[in-house]
Structure 1
């Protein structure tokens, strides 16, 4: 179990993460989504003991990462596939990690084969690896200690379509065997294909979280007016978040009644007002994280929950 509770992290006067709370249960893949600079990497760094929180806690099984007796045997981490010694071969890098963790070296060959780094690739120096090969080696390192939790930041970067499909099966299989996966990625379709739950962060705060199917079934309403600028002003004045949809419509993060009242009060006639359910993860993401005059999602940070 991963538990992030009222986590805040400031760098000087800048709040990178502000009162973030969510949990990741065993047997699930949680997609952790947000635009660049939203606070995803900071949250993961605090969780993995690479940064100290200003306030709040981030624990695995009720303990901070740094308090785990042998963290790599409990939590598999891949935050930066490029952070590997370029002068070592893939086999050497994994063998050294096995020695540090106290893992049987026989597991090295098993995992190299599992992630698709055959004998030739295993003998190459990491500096000669493509990004996709480094990702595979990083995933092998994360799995090396046979952990019960995986924390992954953009693990699909550099993978070709076949590699992404392979990774999807790996993560789904890990969770189905009772493992816990926290997956940060900008590849929304891949997250949609593998995740059970979503946590969406924008401006350092959680703007939505819940089961994938519940969130996608309630993505707000699709709204269209002849005067889009007037529509956006009406939504902003009412504190309703919105993001772009196809054509000249917007997806508003509120129910139809609230949107109808806001636009009627502002004297904005509507051409379309209907549920946006089933619009997909991309539309949900845009509606929750698009920057408006009052911050992400037009000022509705923290209001959309499932």
Structure 2
């Protein structure tokens, strides 16, 4: 389990205090994949760095498996971290990168080749210098490194970046299998459809604050409807007259269920051209939730 409790981080910039993360609290449960989402500059990377002991919080605390990251003995044996796939020695081969870490973690050397095979790096690729790797190969090596200590938890920032469609599907299956075996996965990604496909829970932040969190199914099952018609103003008036809330967000978004929308449209003699649940998947939930929180000028 991974827990953030009232995490806050402020920086001094040009003589003034800038808040990158403010009072962020959430829990990533064992046996589940938790998607950690937000626009660029929302504070995701700063939060992950605080969880992993790389950035000191101004306030609040974080624990991994019940302890602060820095208090974990041989932390790589407990939590696998991938925050920057490019942060690997460019002059070493892929196999050497893992072999050095295996010695430091006191992991059997045989696990290196087993993991290279598991993440799909061929013997020729494993023998190549890391400086020659593509972005996708960096990601595979980074994930192998995160898995090297056979950890109980994974903290991953954009692990599918640079992977082709087959690689993205492979990544999804690997993370799903890790969680199903009892592991904890905290996953930050901009690939919303992939997060929707694998995440059991979601935490969405913007402007350094938590905007929404909960089970994926519950968050995507928001009541109400999104509707388009040949006369949206008339339909909006009919829905409001029936006591339903209505707002414009590319289409009419209303608290009315589909059946009530149909009745209002029939009564107003308005032709409906599109009608669907208010939250049309994770992408719609993300943009609706973060609409007021664009890219923030704070450390990411």
TM-score range, shorter chain: 0.7 to 0.9
Q: CA deviation at 1:168?
A: 0.5
Preserved CA contact (<8 Å) 1:34 1:200: yes
2:11 aligned residue: 11
Preserved CA contact (<8 Å) 2:253 2:278: no
1:126 aligned residue: 130
Cα displacement string for residues 279-302 of structure 1 (whole angstroms, at most 9, x for unaligned residues): 1111111100012xxx57xxxxxx
User: Structure 1 residue 25 and structure 2 residue 26: aligned?
Assistant: no
1:139 aligned residue: 143
Where in structure 2 are there 5+ consecutive unaligned residues?
238-244, 258-269, 295-300
Where in structure 1 are there 5+ consecutive unaligned residues?
232-239, 258-269, 297-306
- Aligned ranges for residues 46-85 of structure 1 at < 5 Å? 46-85=50-89
Instruction: Using structure 2 for the length normalisation, give the TM-score.
Output: 0.82
Aligned partner (choices 183, 186, 205) of residue 187 of structure 2: 183
Cα displacement string for residues 63-107 of structure 1 (whole angstroms, at most 9, x for unaligned residues): 110111111000000000011111000000000010111111110
Distance (Å, rounded) in 2 between the aligned partners of 1:14 and 1:221? 38
Instruction: Using structure 1 for the length normalisation, give the TM-score.
Output: 0.81
* Larger RCO (CA within 8 A; separation ≥ 6): 2
Preserved CA contact (<8 Å) 1:256 1:275: no
Distance (Å, rounded) in 2 between the aligned partners of 1:177 and 1:198? 20
Structure 1 pair 251–16 and aligned structure 2 pair: CA distance change class (3 A): farther
1:148 aligned residue: 152
Structure 1 pair 94–219 and aligned structure 2 pair: CA distance change class (3 A): farther
Q: CA deviation at 1:274?
A: 7.6
User: Structure 1 residue 111 and structure 2 residue 115: aligned?
Assistant: yes
Q: CA deviation at 1:276?
A: 2.9
Distance (Å, rounded) in 1 between the aligned partners of 2:276 and 2:170? 35
1:170 aligned residue: 174
Distance (Å, rounded) in 2 between the aligned partners of 1:106 and 1:193? 33
Greater Cα radius of gyration, structure 1 or 2:
2
Distance (Å, rounded) in 2 between the aligned partners of 1:171 and 1:2? 16
How many residue pairs end up in the alignment? 269
Deviant stretches of 4+, over 6 Å: 270-275
User: Structure 1 residue 279 and structure 2 residue 283: aligned?
Assistant: no
Q: CA deviation at 1:220?
A: 5.5
Distance (Å, rounded) in 2 between the aligned partners of 1:251 and 1:16? 32
Distance (Å, rounded) in 2 between the aligned partners of 1:34 and 1:243? 23
- Aligned ranges for residues 281-296 of structure 1 at < 5 Å? 281-291=282-292
